[in-house]
Amino acid sequence: MDFLAVEPRGVEFPVGGTQLAASWANLILFSLQCHLSYACLTGPRKDRFFAYCIWAALVSDLVGTILVFGSTWTYYLHYVRFGIPLVSSTGTQSALVIFTAVSASIEHAFFLARYYGVTKDRIGSAIVLFLTIAHAVIALANGILVFIFPSKSGPPILSVTVTAGSLGAFIDLLLAFLMTWRVTGMNTTFKSTQSILRRVWIFSMSSGFTTSIVTVLSFVFIFVERSVWLFIFSCQGRVYSLTILLNLVLLKASNQVDNNQAISTNFRITESFSGDPSARSGDIELGIRFNIVESRAPDAQDDSEHPDLGAKTSPL
C-alpha cells in the first residue's frame, strides 16, 4: 500500500519538475484534508475513536507534507543550484516512508473498527488486527533500513519494501471482501437500517479498492518510470487519510438526506389530516398513520445512535 521509497545505488532522483509537482499536489490534498476534517469534527455527534483517527491523520500528514516540501527544497538547493546530484535515500525520504506508514496504519485501524462495529466478527477482526500490526512493523523496519543503509538500497531493502506494500494492499482488499460478505448476508426488517448497511458496505469497498489501486500503480511505476513513482509515493499518505474523511462525510450527508425526507414525510401526513374536520373515523385514520410513522422513528434514531450500525459506522 505504501513505502515504495527505495532508490537503487547511484541513481539520481527524478527531475525536479516531478518533485515540484508532488509538493504542490501534497499542498492541495492536505488543504482538502483539513477542510473535510473540520466538517467531520464540528458535527453534532462525534465518536471518540474516529475523532482520534482524524486528529492523528492530520498530524501525520502535516509532517509528511512538510517532508515533501523539504525534499523538494533540498533537491533544488543541491542539484539545480550547485549541480550536486542527489543519490540514494536521505533522512528526509526515510522519514517520509515512516509517516506514510503511520497514515496507512491509521486508515487500517479506522476501517477495522468500522468492520467490527457493524459485524461484531471477532475472528475476522483479530486476523485483520494481526496483519495490521505486522504491516506496521515491517513498514517501520523498512524506513529504518533505508535510513541506516542509504548506499545499499538495493534488492534486500527493495524486498522489504515490496513485502510491506503487498501486505498493506492485501489488508485493504481483505477488509473490503469481509465487509461485503458479512453485510450482504445480513437480514433486517427496517429499510432505513438496510440503507445504512448498504452505504457502509459501498463506501468501505470503494475505499479498499482505491487504496489498493494506488498501491498497484506504485509497484508498477517503481520499476517502469521513477518520476511517476515519486509523485504517487509523495501523495500516498494523504490519499489514505482522505479515504477515511470521504467515508465519514459521504455517509453523514446521505444520512442527513434520509432525515430530511423523514421529516418531510411526517409533515405531509400531518398536514393532510390535521385540517380535516370530518367525523371520528378521520381521527382514527390519522392515529393509525401517525403511529406507523412513530413506530419507524425510533428505528431511524437507533440507526444514528446504535453503536453497532449508526454511530459506530458514521458517528460524525
| DSSP class per residue in 174-208 | HHHHHHHHHHHT---S-HHHHHHHHHHHHHHHHHH
Q: Please tell me the predicted confidence (pLDDT) of residue 125.
A: 92
- Region 163-173: what's the mean pLDDT? 88
- Residue type for 238, please? R
Domain presence at residue 113 = yes
CB 151 within 8 A of CB 9: yes
Looking at the domain assignment, is residue 97 inside a domain? yes
Structural domain contains residue 24: yes
In a domain, 302, yes or no: no
User: In 10 A of CB 303, how many CB atoms?
Assistant: 25
For residue 3, tell me if it sits in a domain.
no
- What pLDDT is attached to residue 151? 56
Q: Give the model's confidence band at 267: pLDDT under 50 very low, under 70 low, under 90 confident, else very high.
A: very low
Q: What average pLDDT does the structure give for the chain?
A: 73
Name which of 184, 261, 170, 183 is nearest 219 in CA terms. 170
The answer to whether residue 34 scores a pLDDT higher than 90 is yes
Does residue 297 belong to any structural domain of this protein?
A: no
Q: Is residue 223 part of a domain?
A: yes
pLDDT at 256: 64
Write down the pTM of the prediction: 0.72
**Is it the case that residue 279 has pLDDT exceeding 90?**
no
**164 exposed, middle or buried (CB, 10 Å; 0-12, 13-18, 19+)?**
buried
Query: Most confidently modeled of 12-21, 29-38, 217-226?
Result: 29-38
Q: CA nearest 64: which of 113, 102, 90?
A: 102
- Total domains present in the chain: 1
Question: For position 147, which CATH number holds?
Answer: 1.20.1070
pLDDT tens-digit readout, 180-198: 888 877 766 666 667 777 7
Confidence (pLDDT) at 28: 94
∠ CA 80-82-87 to the nearest 5 degrees? 70
- Domain of 25, in residue numbers: 16-259
Mean pLDDT for the stretch of residues 293-301: 42
